[in-house]
């Protein structure tokens, strides 16, 4: 049952704040440093709407998934197992789709980390393979031993430097109020300028959606990040998740016998998760928007499109334009730290997600201790990172874009609808009648999820196929 002490007032909410910070720390990395900066350089502030739309719609998926965990005590993957239809159909889709997304995204971040480190300390022709190997072994060792905290704090300091620096640059190069308003509410899809097409053969015949869709995909993370948020809520012990571990299904007998008083005691935790998710919404929007505006304010006037193996040096001009070569070096160091931090967040979440799926599909796998389930998938990523580096390591931006589309767009509409069923139907079935009435979600939760499904469904049906064709053709 939920703990006796529930958060009360703003101070109480601040005291239990936490999952949102882990969520932000996981997704503030490649999407902001590379994709947002590049999109700003190519298309300018006119596409600020893509940041706000992407983050705001994913916010409803993460928030409602967090609500489900607070009420039931189980994470999103267990909720997927309760969907109607053929047994575990959503689990199968998630396992297959997320295995491909994980290989692509984790490999992309390892390659990006090697690009930043190679720009700081060049090691010749084989430098990228060496750095990918070092980064991969290092982060997997940390994840294997479970020693995340100290390193995450250290990496967080560097990430803080890059965020504050980019925010400063964004403010110094801020466009006019009219341009900002048009960018936020005009929903423009501007043409790629001629200078950008001539400078980058990969977008010579592409459309602006080739820059906009990866930006939307990485904003607030993707499908996996919304699943992971329910893990972080469990780890923080919100509501019915107190004392429970990831990989355990809800205690349905306890939920079915929940009294009205117990439900009212649980309700403040719903406010806590709403406050926590909203903090992530604000941080993500501000930081992602700042990187886009910095790219627009510094790189766009220079007609510079970050691309290829030199992407780190090109993006570092955001700092070097204001703080000379020393600023550029600081950016490279902080950028490498941001990539390592993102990689740590991915390796805290993706192996658990895939193990969670496999547990539902294989009784034999479910009998393995949860720690070794997690470590088994860690071992897989040790191999796939190196394969991705050897196969596509010379195209780090393309890798990051593929990761953004596979994880951030393709399964998100289905995820939104699945979460809607979980909180409006499955949750009600598990609770007593009194508790279900007190803890029922609002109409606005349904509206947010349905709009997210429609908008992301549009992107997947009408824009993603042509963008993938362009990327593969390039």
Structure-block tokens of residue 469: 């064709």
CA proximity to 467, closest of 404, 416, 414, 418: 404
Distance, in Å, from the CA atom of 252 to the CA atom of 104, rounded to the nearest integer, reads 37
Asked if 26 contacts 349 with a C-beta cutoff of 8 angstroms, the reply is yes
At residue 158's C-alpha, the angle toward residues 153 and 163, to 5°, is: 115
Distance, in Å, from the CA atom of 209 to the CA atom of 42, rounded to the nearest integer, reads 11
Q: What is the pLDDT of residue 40?
A: 95
Instruction: DSSP letter for 252, please.
Output: H
What DSSP string describes 256-298?
HT--HHHHHHHHHHHHHHHHHHHHHHHHHHHHHHHHHHHIIII
Question: Rg (Cα) of the chain, in Å, rounded?
Answer: 22
Q: Tell me the whole-structure pTM to 2 decimals.
A: 0.93
Q: What is the pLDDT of residue 16?
A: 67
How many other β-carbons are positioned within 10 Å of the β-carbon of residue 260? 13
What is the architecture of the domain spanning 9-473?
A: Up-down Bundle (1.20)
Asked if 353 contacts 76 with a C-beta cutoff of 8 angstroms, the reply is no
Give me the residue spans of the domains in the chain.
9-473
Positions of the chain with pLDDT lower than 50, given as ranges: 1-4
Q: What is the pLDDT of residue 203?
A: 81
CA proximity to 58, closest of 281, 291, 272, 231: 281
Q: What is the pLDDT of residue 395?
A: 73
Asked if 173 contacts 296 with a C-beta cutoff of 8 angstroms, the reply is yes
Distance, in Å, from the CA atom of 111 to the CA atom of 390, rounded to the nearest integer, reads 10
Asked if 228 contacts 26 with a C-beta cutoff of 8 angstroms, the reply is yes
CA proximity to 154, closest of 331, 344, 18: 344
CA proximity to 407, closest of 371, 460, 363, 329: 460
Question: Which burial class, exposed, middle or buried, applies to 87 when counting CB atoms under 10 A from its CB (0-12, 13-18, 19+)?
Answer: exposed
DSSP three-state, residue 122: coil
Q: What is the pLDDT of residue 1?
A: 46
Distance, in Å, from the CA atom of 99 to the CA atom of 361, rounded to the nearest integer, reads 15
Asked if 82 contacts 388 with a C-beta cutoff of 8 angstroms, the reply is no
Helix axes 89-120, 127-145, angle to 10 degrees: 130
Asked if 239 contacts 266 with a C-beta cutoff of 8 angstroms, the reply is yes
Q: What is the pLDDT of residue 14?
A: 62
Asked if 37 contacts 294 with a C-beta cutoff of 8 angstroms, the reply is yes
Q: How far is CA 214 from CA 100, 201, 293, 347, in A?
A: 16, 18, 16, 21
């Amino acid at each position: 049952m939920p703990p006796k002490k529930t958060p009360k007032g703003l101070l109480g909410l601040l005291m239990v704040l936490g999952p949102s910070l882990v969520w932000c720390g996981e997704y503030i990395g490649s999407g902001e440093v590379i994709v947002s900066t590049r999109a700003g350089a190519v298309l300018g502030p006119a596409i600020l709407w893509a940041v706000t739309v992407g983050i705001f719609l994913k916010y409803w998926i993460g928030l409602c998934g967090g609500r489900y965990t607070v009420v039931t005590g189980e994470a999103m993957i267990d909720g997927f197992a309760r969907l109607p239809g053929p047994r575990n159909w959503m689990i199968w889709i998630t396992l297959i789709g997320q295995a491909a997304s994980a290989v692509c995204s984790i490999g992309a971040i390892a390659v990006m980390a090697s690009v930043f480190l190679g720009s700081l300390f060049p090691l010749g022709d084989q430098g990228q393979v060496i750095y990918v190997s070092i980064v991969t072994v290092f982060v997997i060792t940390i994840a294997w031993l479970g020693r995340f905290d100290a390193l995450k704090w250290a990496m967080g300091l560097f990430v803080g430097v890059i965020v504050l620096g980019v925010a400063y640059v964004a403010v110094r190069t801020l466009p006019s109020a009219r341009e900002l308003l048009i960018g936020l509410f005009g929903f423009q899809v501007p043409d790629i300028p001629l200078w950008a097409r001539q400078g980058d053969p990969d977008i010579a015949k592409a459309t602006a959606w080739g820059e906009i869709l990866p930006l939307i995909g990485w904003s607030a993370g993707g499908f996996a990040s919304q699943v992971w948020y329910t893990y972080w809520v469990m780890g923080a012990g919100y509501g019915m998740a107190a004392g429970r571990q990831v990989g355990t299904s809800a205690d349905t007998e306890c939920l079915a016998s929940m009294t009205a008083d117990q439900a009212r005691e649980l309700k403040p935790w719903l406010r806590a998760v709403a406050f926590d998710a909203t903090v992530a919404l604000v941080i993500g929007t501000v930081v992602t928007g700042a990187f886009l505006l910095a790219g627009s304010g510094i790189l766009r006037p220079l007609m510079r499109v970050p691309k290829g193996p030199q992407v780190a040096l090109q993006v570092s001009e955001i700092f070097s334009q204001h703080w000379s070569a020393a600023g550029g070096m600081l950016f490279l160091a902080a950028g490498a730290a941001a990539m390592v931090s993102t990689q740590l967040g991915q390796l805290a979440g993706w192996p658990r997600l895939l193990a969670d799926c496999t547990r539902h599909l294989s009784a034999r796998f479910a009998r393995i201790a949860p720690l070794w389930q997690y470590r088994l998938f860690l071992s897989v990523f040790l191999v796939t990172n190196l394969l991705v580096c050897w196969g596509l390591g010379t195209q780090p931006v393309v890798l990051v874009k593929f990761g953004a589309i596979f994880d951030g767009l393709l399964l998100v509409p289905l995820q939104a609808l699945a979460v809607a069923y979980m909180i409006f139907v499955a949750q009600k079935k598990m609770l007593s009648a009194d508790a279900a009435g007190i803890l029922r979600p609002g109409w606005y939760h349904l509206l947010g999820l349905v709009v997210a499904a429609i908008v992301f469904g549009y992107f997947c049906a009408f824009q993603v196929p042509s963008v993938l064709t362009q990327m593969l053709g390039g």
